[in-house]
Structure 1
């Protein structure tokens, strides 16, 4: 009898419309969905420099073009686009786009967006658009960008620029107003709520209401997911909790997070200024220990961009050997007792000490040197620091930005690396537009700087583990942005 009553109560609950699910023919559709993240929202400013804020803001704002889940360029507010000549790019803008307050999108909004970035010197974006000479909006539905110099990566840079409705960024920080598939509803200290935008140009998304909730503690985040019926994804997820997934309704997933951590050499050291000696160290480097040294959060790296990034060369793989092979090779190559003092930030002190132990076990004379993150470039002032820890995240999905930043910037090329073949290939890369040709150049560059004339020692690729509720498709882009508008059952 109790079972019958329970079933009747359940049916009454469902029919009353109080359920998180509604009937749509034979398929169940979510009425609301929640994504659990670790970090709370910092600011609703559309030009916030904090990475987690871009996760929260992505459903609200749109761009002229954007990435799909594999970081390939696709139309968004511009329905078609192309290069007129090497310094002229043209975009045809959709005519049926509205902001969340009901205002029609105009060409003036697009122009004022870029003008605002230039005037406010938004630190996250100004470097991406500084090559724009002027913007023309003379032709119907057409925005034309005139650049100062050719830029094959211009499309990719535009994926980072949300189009805004007003120059008053302070107002947008309180009440975001974009053209995206979801509009802002409310926020608390640990949650941001959205509702589907009924007048979206591409039709409103299937799920009427979504929210992001931040739960910093990894265990509490997982427990919250298990006890909630509307949580569809948890990111990131701590892999040390994987054994508990068997009793949950979630599946573990993992993808590259576009980051690579590496060491670069101090050019002041005469021994390591030799490419041959740098190659020797790469041959004995304990790549097979990188996953253990990072507690499973990284995988061994052999180049300076990760898979999923344009320029990744699948032929460059870590040279995996067992301990005895590496120890014998250390002696054979004359590296026994060779001093290797490497600088790492205090947050990686455990990694540094463990790596020091591994290298010393091979017969090297290794010493970890802790340097505060904001002083790490200054560690080159320490004469006997041979290696400096750095990291790079390829937010634009290409190795081009890394290469130009590292090798053409006086600020970042602290190792004073110079290779005439690299310079020539970079010059070709910056005037080549066809993507397959660019890939070929980038892969050749990776081959040179990763082994032929090593720029440094790639250490590990970052991984982004997350879980999704069984039975639901939750697309997560390679840059870790959840495409909430595409969540489906």
Structure 2
């Protein structure tokens, strides 16, 4: 995977400056949910906003940290990181970047209404000893803080104050403010037009501090949820790039004149989640009990859901069957733990009977239809699989915006979800999904899974500086979560982008479209 990324990165670096700049037209299955960089910790929204709002550091095509708004960083002491800011950087409204903006932005990301608390959970305080230095104090040692803040966009304090947007608003509750609809960053592109659920237009930022490697003057993004419509738009020439390519259409696009398909593994794991907190399910006629709190029921569901069949038939082998909530490429991943039991319907039936549910029960399944590769088809496939052990699943398939509002507000009993790891470190998914939802942890643990030993290990992992000891604790959390069926992993999906032959862009395993490295020639 890294060889492919390196090869493409080298190809981009060798390209000569273009004589004529271009407009890039691209589409994805869903829309950007908010323009507020602290409004939603979701890969597509954050990766799009990273072209407008920059963080202190960024990831290279080789998956390494490099300077962005900070020119250098150091761990000044075990519980404090120091960042030196880049001089001469200006926001797109002309305001110069100062340490006060960084302090404001990090504090804003820590505030109520922010969805970036996963990235700021270990931060105790942030200060600026001088106008070009920022010091972040953590709750004990945190060796991976620089990776955790890669998507923490820096805002202008004066701009936020002028537009009454000093506090982020909770998108899970359908709230918005000026920053939800407008933008003012330091990045390579600036927002020109925002029409939610229709189109978003960006223009190149002529005052960007970095030397552009792109040749784009304009970027037009359109959300196109219908896969057939999205494919047709690429084939007809309406689009220059679209993702994801439906697995059944990969050969067709790859064979079309002037088009190609970029493919590679994604670090995103797709899984099923279950309400293990409530005494009674909200999306079930069953009263007085929550069968999902019983490990035997959860194990029965794991044994009945045939992930291999989903891999073969739904994903057409464009995925990797998973036994854990993280996969290869993530620090802390252990192949020896990545074990999934074979599908065994009879054993699952016995477990259901032992748990007192021989006749099964009914439950709703919340699914997006414009978020993941074949997401609706995956949920549809789960229905007959669980019916074999008496569980009547009623799929509630919705557009991503409606699905996420329901699931992220924890108004769900059973749901399809996924997690991509922007830090490439296991602590990120563990603190987001395996940790109990409180004190800034477990923000995406929509089923309320909780284990006392995991709660003990999570803070120890975040401050452990010994690599071997840290991996051992990560392995213990992964094993506990796997054995208790905290979630039901399905697979890591593969990436497939359809692009015109004259488009050069790096395909990253985190599915981030880096417009500042994209060219049309």
Deviates more, 1:40-49 or 1:479-488: 40-49
Query: For residues 106 and 149 of structure 1, do their structure 2 counterparts lie closer, same or farther at Cα, with a shift above 3 Å needed?
Result: same
Q: How does 1:38-77 map to 2 (within 5 A)?
A: 38=28, 39-41=30-32, 43-49=34-40, 51=42, 52-69=44-61, 72-77=64-69
> Which of 96, 112, 129 pairs up with 1:138?
129
Query: For residues 340 and 45 of structure 1, do their structure 2 counterparts lie closer, same or farther at Cα, with a shift above 3 Å needed?
Result: same
> Which of 317, 320, 323 pairs up with 1:302?
323
Deviates more, 1:334-343 or 1:255-264: 334-343
Q: In the alignment, what sits opposite 2:104?
A: 112
1:448-485 deviation digits (Å, cap 9, x = unpaired): 4324x543432333444322233543124333221111
In the alignment, structure 2 segments of 5+ residues that lack a partner are 1-13, 164-177, 280-288, 369-375, 398-402
Tell which structure's C-alpha radius of gyration is larger.
1
Deviates more, 1:106-115 or 1:263-272: 263-272
Query: For residues 200 and 85 of structure 1, do their structure 2 counterparts lie closer, same or farther at Cα, with a shift above 3 Å needed?
Result: same
SS of match in other structure, 2:53:
coil
User: CA separation in 1, counterparts of 2:251 and 2:396?
Assistant: 36
Report the Cα offset of residue 25 of structure 1: 10
Q: In the alignment, what sits opposite 2:270?
A: 260
Q: Does 1:201 align with 2:221?
A: no
> Which of 442, 450, 469 pairs up with 2:474?
442
Report the Cα offset of residue 65 of structure 1: 1.5
Q: In the alignment, what sits opposite 1:368?
A: 393
User: CA separation in 1, counterparts of 2:15 and 2:56?
Assistant: 36
Q: In the alignment, what sits opposite 1:183?
A: 190
Q: In the alignment, what sits opposite 2:282?
A: none
> Which of 455, 463, 466 pairs up with 2:486?
455
Q: In the alignment, what sits opposite 1:21?
A: none
> Which of 404, 425, 438 pairs up with 2:431?
404
Deviates more, 1:395-404 or 1:332-341: 332-341
User: CA separation in 2, counterparts of 1:285 and 1:198?
Assistant: 52
Q: In the alignment, what sits opposite 1:251?
A: 260
Query: For residues 277 and 172 of structure 1, do their structure 2 counterparts lie closer, same or farther at Cα, with a shift above 3 Å needed?
Result: closer
Q: Does 1:289 align with 2:309?
A: yes
Number of residue pairs the alignment of both structures matches:
450
Mapped contact 2:365–2:416 kept (Cα < 8 A): no
User: CA separation in 2, counterparts of 1:175 and 1:485?
Assistant: 20
Mapped contact 2:427–2:474 kept (Cα < 8 A): yes
Q: In the alignment, what sits opposite 1:226?
A: 235
User: CA separation in 2, counterparts of 1:115 and 1:93?
Assistant: 17
> Which of 306, 312, 328 pairs up with 2:333?
312
Q: Does 1:237 align with 2:245?
A: yes
Q: In the alignment, what sits opposite 1:11?
A: none
Query: For residues 30 and 309 of structure 1, do their structure 2 counterparts lie closer, same or farther at Cα, with a shift above 3 Å needed?
Result: farther
Report the Cα offset of residue 76 of structure 1: 1.2
Report the Cα offset of residue 278 of structure 1: 6.7
Mapped contact 1:287–1:319 kept (Cα < 8 A): no
Report the Cα offset of residue 182 of structure 1: 2.4
In the alignment, structure 1 segments of 5+ residues that lack a partner are 1-23, 381-387
User: CA separation in 1, counterparts of 2:64 and 2:387?
Assistant: 44
User: CA separation in 1, counterparts of 2:38 and 2:183?
Assistant: 11
Mapped contact 1:256–1:308 kept (Cα < 8 A): no
User: CA separation in 2, counterparts of 1:223 and 1:416?
Assistant: 42
Deviates more, 1:47-56 or 1:59-68: 47-56
Q: Does 1:32 align with 2:10?
A: no
Report the Cα offset of residue 227 of structure 1: 3.5
